[in-house]
Amino acid sequence: MAAPNDIFSKLLREYPKLWGVQRGKDYMLERKRLADRQTAATGRLVTEQTVQWKIRIVRRYLSDLDNSTADKLSKLGYFQWFARELGLTRAVERLTNKLNQGSGQTIMSEDEFVEFDKTDKIYEDLRQTLETLVNNTEEGLVDNNMF
């Protein structure tokens, strides 16, 4: 089962031993821990092999992004921090530019706010509707027995 990028990115950040290319008992143990945390976070089984595969794919996509004109930006926005950790400066620059253009994702960059995911307008409309309902209830324009 594929792991959602936003959750996987947040969890992977907590396991720096998995960022490198080393293999060994520590790597396998960290991979198992990450798989368990991902399973708990999503409610779906995530295996160690899935974690290993996802890390390889993300690293390859970030490397491609750093070395070419590949356009996999929409899938990689959550991994801007990882590209920075891997020293892929061109990939970081391209992801940052994509965020500045407005990709529609909510993404954290160096633990700082980057942008809204464009749902703020929906919530504003809902807030206004609820305020109107509350005001009408207080003014007696809505029958309180309806609730």
Please compute, for residue 3, the number of CA atoms within 13 A of its CA located in the half-sphere on the CB side. Answer: 30
Please compute, for residue 96, the number of CA atoms within 13 A of its CA located in the half-sphere on the CB side. Answer: 14
Which residue would you say has higher pLDDT here, 97 or 139?
97
Percentage of the chain exceeding pLDDT 70: 61
> pTM, whole model, 2 decimals?
0.51
For 7-32, the pLDDT digits (tens) are 888 888 888 888 776 666 778 888 89
CA distances to 3, 116, 119, 122 from 126, rounded to whole Å, are 31, 17, 11, 6
Provide the 8-state DSSP code for 2. P
Q: How far does the chain reach from its first CA to its final CA, in angstroms?
A: 43
Provide the 8-state DSSP code for 143. -
For 119-128, the pLDDT digits (tens) are 555 566 667 7
